[in-house]
Amino acid sequence: MTQYQRVLLKLSGEVFGGGHVGVDPDVVSKIAHDVAEVVHSGVQVAVVTGGGNFFRGAELQQRGMDRVRADYMGMLGIVMNCLALQDFLEKLGIETRVQTAITMGQVAEPYVPRRAIRHMEKGRVVIFGAGMGMPFFSTDTVAVQRALESRCDAVFFAKSGVDGVYSADPRKDPSATKYDHITFDEAISKGLAVVDQTAFTLCAENELPMVVFGMEPEGNIPRVLKGERIGTLVDAG
């Protein structure tokens, strides 16, 4: 096991909705229990969520909406997920701060990297909301950027329906093989779509380790964040 001191967990918006539009309280409660277990073990935790359970800018654009406005709507959806996770974490006695890239002082703090670091040093979970605060950026990219600015040891991408990085899409190619460990250079040369390309490039350039793992079975989040080797580790080698 590798003991991490500070980690960033990226969760997709679809996870929060349990496959449906909106927030599924039972799902969010389970995520909160998993994160709380990690905090109690002494690991500092930050979280970035997606907003796909409410809005996806690119999809709304295909239906005729202006992409910039659609992306801002997506950012607001992300904040709703953040507040839901904050609520369930605080019900478990875990102090939590939501920081947003778009100022909304009545519900969250503004994004300030040094303040986020200080919160984590005090054992608080920091949830970064509203994406990058600008259109055209995916939450994968936001996760890596926030992990770098808050000096995390690694960034973790929790996936539904897949348990790591494969040589091809395992849902389409039954012969696809899973990698337990792969370097950034190997992943680039093989053209593997690990995460959003910008996010992947940021990790590679800054030698930030990335772990891609599956949400299933239950309990995977605390296992991997506490250092157990599951999923796929992508690093500089």
pLDDT along the chain (237 residues), means of 10: 88 86 93 96 96 78 85 92 97 98 95 98 97 92 97 94 86 88 89 83 94 90 92 91
Neighbours of 134 (CB within 10 A): 14
Nearest by Cα to 14 from 126, 139, 111, 108:
139
pLDDT of residue 197: 82
Nearest by Cα to 167 from 190, 195, 200, 201:
190
pLDDT of residue 27: 94
pTM for the full predicted model = 0.92
pLDDT of residue 18: 81
pLDDT of residue 55: 75
pLDDT of residue 187: 86
Distance of CA 42 to the CA centre of its chain: 20
CA gyration radius, the chain:
17
To 10 degrees, the CA torsion angle through 41, 233, 188, 168?
Answer: -120
- The CB-side HSE value for 109 (13 A sphere, CA atoms) comes to 15
